[in-house]
Amino acid sequence: MNHNRVGRIRVAATLAMLGVMCFVPPAAAQDTPGKDVKTAGFKASREAAEADACREHLHKIHDAITAFEGAHQRLPNWLSELSPAYLDAKLLVCPYVTRIADLSSWRYRNIREDVFQDPKESTSYAYEFCSKEIPLWPGVKTTWREFKQRLVKRMGRAGEDAVPIVRCFAHEPILNVAYGGRVYSNPANKDWEELFMPPFTHEDFHPETLYLNEPVMVDRKRFLPRASKTEARLLDLSKHYNAYLDEVWLPYPRECDLKSLPQGDQEIGGVRFDVRGLAQLSATRLLAPYPTNVTGVKVGASSTKIHFLHATRPVPVRAPDMAVGTRVATYVIHYENGAAAEIPIIYGRDLKNWWFDPLKPEPGSARAAWEGENPASKAFQRKIRLFITSWQNPRKDQTIASLSLNSAMAETAPFVVAITIE
Ligand SMILES: [Zn+2]
């Protein structure tokens, strides 16, 4: 395998998911044939004169932002806030876009293109310091503005001249005005971030990296209460949930949740489960503060079989396929007498990634027990799924005190939705 190529795809694919307009190399492009990518008919200008005219706009927009900030002690939430007081509204549309009279192609070029979502839809420019929220993980969210301000700081002296505040994608190369006012371009087949790698790394440009010391904080009252009639053998994971089913628990893809999974006491793949939340485990390069181990899952009974409802999340987003046979987790059974048994969780045999292409055959014998969708999967023509691993207990007469779920820190992050003993 050509590692440079893999690394390149990861950078582009992950930055693409940040909502940052970027070059999508062929392999990733095949992976995102979404109908939301409204690029038909769009042709970036390569004319130097058109670019120069746009540069003038960018300088004036930057001046207006500076004036706005001076007057309001904050940045505008959206560029439309600048006009009419600080800027002629005409300057919010690239002269080239005005000429081709096609304002819409410049927005929503990619799914969840936050930086184009000016509520007045009156600009062709992307505003990267907008007030749009970025949910990161339970209890922690940021905005584009705060994330970009932290990024400027993290980059130190280079930051103000590097981090774009306003961008024009109507040209090739793409035009950017940096936070500090420098106008520069980046080739359309490269992310602006790549111009600064090294010394910075791919991870440096992720919002997650800037928020890693802000722990996951779930509000236990937000989970559906466990039904009083639910049998004890449907283990109660309430204490161990660190993510909600109906809300994103990692920032990308956006609007990517398990809302379509029926909640409560549910039969899935012929097994009854108590479905109300999930326990996400960490993985190598998972840029989110999830634990490596979840311990002390109370059992207090003997059992012939244990069923786990689970799947994995690729790390980073849309990373290359995991190799079948990779151990992604180890679940440990702790018997009351002090003995323990390990259940290796093997990629391809026990589970696979939750996000998948229903048209693409995959290696590995694991078959999904549940399939569903969410807004992100629909937009990318993908589906989501969960798997059941049923483990035969060799010590069926011994009482099991507890279970622990341990990530093997592979390049995919396991999560467990429910556990049932029988
Ligand atoms: Zn332009």
Tell me how far the alpha carbon of residue 175 lies from the centroid of ligand 1, in angstroms. Answer: 7
Distance CA 176, CA 187 (A): 11
How many angstroms separate the alpha carbon of residue 200 from the centre of ligand 1?
Answer: 28
Report how far ligand 1's centroid is from the alpha carbon of 90 (Å): 12
- 82 alpha carbon – ligand 1 mean position (Å): 18
User: How far is Cα 132 from Cα 115, in angstroms, rounded to an integer?
Assistant: 8
In the reported structure, the alpha carbon of residue 198 is separated from the centroid of ligand 1 by a whole-number distance in angstroms of 28
C-alpha 108 – ligand 1 centre gap (Å):
16
Ligand 1: centre distance to CA 85 (Å): 22
What's the 38 CA to ligand 1 centre distance in angstroms? 18
CA distance 295 to 288: 19
> How far, in Å, from the CA of 100 to the mean position of ligand 1?
11
Ligand 1 center from residue 23 Cα (angstroms)? 18
Distance 47 CA to ligand 1 centre (A): 11
Whether 333 contacts 341, CB under 8 Å: yes
CA of 141 to the centre of ligand 1 (A): 31
CB 418 within 8 A of CB 405: no
Q: What is the pLDDT of residue 319?
A: 66
pLDDT at res. 117: 75
Q: How far is the CA of 283 from the centre of ligand 1 (A)?
A: 41
What is the reported pLDDT for 17? 42
Residues facing residue 372 across a β-bridge: 384
Q: Tokens 């079989």 label which residue?
A: 305
How many angstroms separate the alpha carbon of residue 172 from the centre of ligand 1?
A: 9
Residue 170 CA to ligand 1 center (angstroms) comes to 5
DSSP state of 157: G
Specify the pLDDT at position 201: 86
Residue spans of the chain under pLDDT 50: 1-40, 108-112
Per-residue pLDDT at 203: 84
Amino acid at 209: T
Distance from Cα 26 to the centre of ligand 1, integer Å: 26
Which residue is associated with the tokens 């029926």? 262
Q: Which amino acid is at 388?
A: I
Distance 268 CA to ligand 1 centre (A): 52
Å from CA of 58 to ligand 1 middle: 8
Using the mean position of ligand 1's atoms as its centre, give its distance from the Cα of residue 142 in Å.
28
Domain ranges of the chain: 3-210, 220-421
Tell me which residue has tokens 């904050």. Answer: 74
Q: What is the largest CA-CA distance in the chain?
A: 81
The CA 48 to ligand 1 mean position distance, Å, reads: 11
132 Cα: distance to centroid of ligand 1 (angstroms): 23
Give me ligand 1 centre to Cα 382, in Å: 33
- Tell me, in angstroms, the distance from the centre of ligand 1 to residue 78's CA: 18
Residue 167 CA, ligand 1 centroid: distance in Å: 8
The answer for residues whose C-beta is within 8 angstroms of residue 144's C-beta and 6 or more apart is 114, 115, 128, 129, 130, 131, 132, 134
CA of 25 to the centre of ligand 1 (A): 23
**Å from CA of 354 to ligand 1 middle:** 39
- Ligand 1 centroid to Cα of residue 254, in Å, is 27
Question: 207 C-alpha to center of ligand 1: Å?
Answer: 27
The predicted pLDDT at position 7 comes to 37
Using CA atoms, how far apart are residues 175 and 251, in angstroms rounded to an integer?
Answer: 27
pLDDT digits (tens, 9 = 90+) for 144-190: 999 999 999 999 989 999 999 999 988 999 999 999 999 999 998 88
